[in-house]
Amino acid sequence: MSTSLAWDERYASGEFVFGEAPNLFLLGQAHRLRPGMRALAVGDGEGRNGVWLAQQGLVTTSLDWSAVGLAKARALAEARGVALATVTADLTRWEWPVAGFDVIAWIFVHLPPADRAIACEGVLRALAPGGLLLMECFTPAQEGRRSGGPKDPALLWSRALVEQHFGGLEVLELLEGTVLLDEGPRHQGAAEVVRAVLRRR
Ligand SMILES: C[S@@+](CC[C@H](N)C(=O)[O-])C[C@H]1O[C@@H](n2cnc3c(N)ncnc32)[C@H](O)[C@@H]1O
């Protein structure tokens, strides 16, 4: 079972386990971002994505339940000379601010079904009108691959799950397929993912 302590242990080494560079899918969404947008990076771990969003001029908050991960996120932000707010919280218990964000990045966050439903409700509450949800997660086709993701298939995402949880959002992109990951020691090689760009009407 995934716990904040287990993630603290994973993040305890000096290295950035998913690298310091942003996720490539998120990087490819740069054209949709504008300085001053309010961004939330959920399950941001060591902060590679939140820090990159801050570098694009977004007013960014990184949320994770690993205090160890977020300490590294703050150090990365300082090294890059950008401001980053961090929130140490379980995203199933967090008070998601109503219409509080213009961009929510959900990159490789895999939750048990009941927790996923709660967090998705939070995302829907927290997205401002016109706000974007940018998501990349592993799908069940990832089973057997060694390029990352949870072992428990119940935690995996799919296009159908995205449609189920975020049916009220406008689809700008929604794709399932194979990508090549090169993100630190934990995400290396061919991987099966779903990628979504969804907009609140
Ligand atoms: C696979 S890592 C991805 C980290 C980051 N998004 C990235 O791509 O580098 C998943 C992250 O989700 C966080 N996480 C998992 N369940 C969580 C929960 N219930 N509340 C807050 N964070 C959670 C973990 O601590 C971990 O940092």
Report the alpha-carbon distance of residue 92 to residue 19 in Å, rounded: 26
Cα 109 to middle of ligand 1, angstroms: 5
Query: Any residues with CB less than 8 A from the CB of 78 and at least 6 apart, and which?
Result: none
CB of 106 shorter than 6 A to ligand 1: no
The atom number, within ligand 1, closest to the CA of 107 reads 6
How far does residue 1's CA lie from ligand 1's centre (Å)?
Answer: 13
Q: Which atom of ligand 1 is nearest to the CA of 186?
A: 1
DSSP 55-120: HTT-EEEEEES-HHHHHHHHHHHHHHT---EEEE--TTTS-PPTT-EEEEEEES----HHHHHHHH
Q: How many angstroms does the Cα of residue 10 sit away from the middle of ligand 1? A: 11
Residue nearest atom 13 in ligand 1 by C-alpha distance:
43
Q: What is the full per-residue pLDDT of the chain (201 aa) written as tens digits?
A: 689 999 999 999 989 999 999 999 999 999 999 999 999 999 999 999 999 999 999 999 999 999 999 999 999 999 999 999 999 999 999 999 999 999 999 999 999 999 999 999 999 999 999 999 999 999 999 999 999 999 999 999 999 999 999 999 999 999 999 999 999 999 999 999 999 999 999
In 3D space, the residue among 165, 38, 29 whose CA is nearest the CA of residue 109 turns out to be: 165
Whether the CB of 134 sits within 6 Å of ligand 1: no
Instruction: Give, for ligand 1, the residue of 10, 27, 60, 64 to mutate: max count of ligand atoms closer than 8 Å to Cβ.
Output: 64
Candidate CATH numbers 3.40.50.150, 3.40.309.10, 3.30.1300.30, 3.90.1530.10; the one for domain 4-199: 3.40.50.150
Question: Measured from the CB, is residue 108 less than 6 Å from ligand 1?
Answer: yes
| Tokens describing residue 170 | 């406008």
Is 148 a pocket residue for ligand 1 (Cβ < 6 Å)? Answer: no
Model-level pTM? 0.98
Distance 169 CA to ligand 1 centre (A): 23
CA 178 to chain centroid, in Å, comes to 18
Q: pLDDT by residue (tens digit) across 48-59? A: 999 999 999 999
